[in-house]
Structure 1
Amino acid sequence: MHSSPRSRRIDEHTIRSLPKAEVHVHLEGTFSLLDILTLAKDNGVRLPGPAATLFDITTHDAFTAPAVTSGGGAGAGAAGLSGFLRFLDWQCGLVRTPAQAARVAYAFAARQSASGVRYSDVIVNPTHWNAWHGRELALMDALASGFDEAEQDGLCAVSIAYSLLRSQSAADAEAVVTDLITRRPHRVVALSVDGDEKVTGRTGEKFRAAFARAAQGGLHRTVHAGESSGPEGVWDAVELLQAERIDHGVRAVEDPALLDRLVGGGISLGVCPRSNVTLGISPSWHEHPLRRLHEAGVLVTLNTDDPAPLGTTLEADWAVAAEQFGFDHADLVGFAARSIDASFADPDTKASLHTELASVAASAVDATTTA
């Protein structure tokens, strides 16, 4: 890695060519404008505002009320987080049939493939999908059918991290885990929890039993923490929830002992710089702790969180990160390798992706030396 804090921008095409995984992305944050318009027409639902400004949710009176019922990832700025979460509820509420859910899943896999993503652990929080309340596992089945079709067509392989909402009760969480372990829905490989830490406070103890049951039942564990909370949220995720992966976790940089714990335990951070800057978690890209976390030896991956409303793609965010933090092509190959390691893909898939990545990296080196 360069010592300079800034470097030459690496072309997005070069980044797309790197086989990689994405491990911190919310399905709710990947609906394209076309997806939303099609679903609204299918269901005869009027848009909350002009189509051209649909993602500028801070302009929509319908989404600016202070109460929030669901939790996701990034939004249209810190002041617009409440409205953003309400927008997700409205948007996901347009998905009302298994065919519509499968179409959304297929579109996600296609989007990922266009960014050079070969495997994704996508986070799905059913509390947003209000047409499926009480039928959450049916939603998982419908999404899985879309992912199945996509993979059969040669698109990105996708597994699901079923996410609890931080404000749910302990009893609700344990009931969810019981259903997941008993019924084993296809493609659901992990239990997650998300939502605004600042609003709910520390919830590790509340969900401790549910995550312990998930671990005993063979589910992976990934936890949103260290975003709007400090290092204590990450400590709770690791010590109380047996988290194998932390979504965000950027506030861990404030606690050297926590960094040692993450490094020693091989616990990865699914970092999303653009989301953090947009929400005001970090004042700017330049001040984001990504470089410090990386230099501390933490297994850091680069992700998008909610790319559609943020107006970004994975390759665009990797290109900005390379420019801002002085990462060269070899560094990005390293990020791609770590994304595969941090994923919940099966061992054979990981081995195949590493082989493909090594071949692409070697070809890039050969092209450079012969140029």
Structure 2
Amino acid sequence: MPTASTALSTGHRIDETWIRRLPKAETHVHLEGNFELIDLLDLAKEAGEPLPGPAATLFDVTTHDASDGTGDLADFLRFLDWECGLIRTPEQAARHAYSFAARQTASGIGYTDAVINPTHWAAWSGRVPALFDALAAGLDEAEQDGLAEVQLCYSLLRQQSAGEAGEVVEWLATARPRRVVALSIDGDERSAGRVSARFAEAFTAAKDAGLRRTVHAGESSGPEGVWDAIRLLHAERIDHGVRAVEDPELLRYLAETQIPLGVCPRSNVVLGLYDDWSDHPLVALRDAGVNVTINTDDPAPLGTTLEADWAVCAETFGLTEDDLIGFARASIAASFAGDATKRALEAALPSSAASR
């Protein structure tokens, strides 16, 4: 993993243009979190649906004032339900997937594992295979047009039943929908509680079927959520995982196994998990030897891009260009990209900032 060497408080600043040019992957980003304001305005008009508030403050659901560390995560998830509920036709779904690939490409991201939770997409209840067909069509077109490769992680919701999870995995294993490479699970850990045992059978079946596994854990729950993801769900990667920093034994285990954490600092700060960027444990995790990548989570409502978040991390934590090259290398390795894609991205990385 990268190590910080020269603090940016000395006046050194890393330009976002350079970060965009750096070959990299993104492993923790949601299709649900990539509707720009113009997308929502157009979709709402097409659907004949009113906006839930003034357009100028539509994304203010991310403002938090909770004192229990949860921020407005539940409100934020309800906002995602509203957004995705506006997608009602295959053409709209394909267009959203295409636009997502274009936005990733604009940030210099060569490969993405994109999380999609169909429970947010209300209009597709009972016809989830058609949703995935439409998304795959949009991503196919994007790749044909020279945009970044995007594969999908089918995410369960923590409130679903073991039976529902089993049906999902059976479909994934039998139908092998295009571009689906992994099984995931997300949702509000704090409100759902420790539910990993409920989904253990489904994740075991996914593993046996050759699907990759990535689990949201260690965000609104503590380190126990990460342990459950590893022990019960065969997690190959943890989305968030930041609260592992509270458990020295877990830190040692993560450092030894190099199970990657897909960390999203801006999301953690905006949703109230940490008060400020400087309070975020990104560097503490890295310095403990944990395999960490930097991601956006839900960039559109959070008002960000990957290069912007990398630049803020560099300024906040004193990271150098060489550090960011290391984070880029870690992102590629942590992704579920095929070997050829990984080799191509890694070959394009500069060995050091001096060689750029």
TM-score tier (shorter): over 0.9
Q: Percent identity?
A: 63
Q: Which of 112, 137, 143 is residue 145 of structure 1 equivalent to? A: 137
Q: Distance in 1 between matches of 2:261 and 2:75?
A: 27
> Counterpart amino acid of 1:365?
A
Cα deviation code 1:201-258 (max 9, x no counterpart): 1111111000000000010000000001111100000111000000000011111211
Tell me how far 1:197 sits from its aligned partner: 0.8
Q: Which of 305, 328, 347 is residue 355 of structure 1 equivalent to? A: 347
* Structure 2 residue aligned with 1:119: 111
* Structure 2 residue aligned with 1:294: 286
Contact 1:76 1:310 survives alignment (8 Å): no
Q: Distance in 2 between matches of 1:86 and 1:199?
A: 14
What TM-score does the superposition give when structure 1 sets the normalisation length?
0.91
Tell me how far 1:27 sits from its aligned partner: 0.7
* Structure 1 residue aligned with 2:261: 269
* Structure 2 residue aligned with 1:24: 28
* Structure 2 residue aligned with 1:95: 87
* Structure 2 residue aligned with 1:191: 183
Moved more, 280-289 or 111-120: 280-289
Q: Distance in 2 between matches of 1:134 and 1:301?
A: 35
Q: Which of 25, 34, 46 is residue 42 of structure 1 equivalent to? A: 46
Work out the number of aligned pairs and report it. 347
* Structure 1 residue aligned with 2:17: 13
> Counterpart amino acid of 2:189?
E
> Counterpart amino acid of 1:270?
G
Tell me how far 1:76 sits from its aligned partner: 3.6
Counterpart mapping for 1:217-296 below 5 A: 217-296=209-288
Contact 2:8 2:320 survives alignment (8 Å): no
Stretches of structure 2 lacking an aligned partner (at least 5 in a row): 65-69
Q: Distance in 2 between matches of 1:338 and 1:79?
A: 29
> Counterpart amino acid of 1:343?
S
Q: Secondary structure at the match of 1:297?
A: coil
RMSD of aligned Cα (Å): 1.4
Q: Secondary structure at the match of 1:286?
A: helix
Contact 2:71 2:273 survives alignment (8 Å): no
Stretches of structure 1 lacking an aligned partner (at least 5 in a row): 58-74
Tell me how far 1:5 sits from its aligned partner: 8.0
Tell me how far 1:288 sits from its aligned partner: 0.7
Q: Distance in 2 between matches of 1:317 and 1:122?
A: 18
* Structure 2 residue aligned with 1:2: 5
Contact 1:127 1:165 survives alignment (8 Å): yes
* Structure 2 residue aligned with 1:365: 354
* Structure 1 residue aligned with 2:158: 166
Tell me how far 1:83 sits from its aligned partner: 2.3
Tell me how far 1:296 sits from its aligned partner: 1.1
> Counterpart amino acid of 1:168?
Q
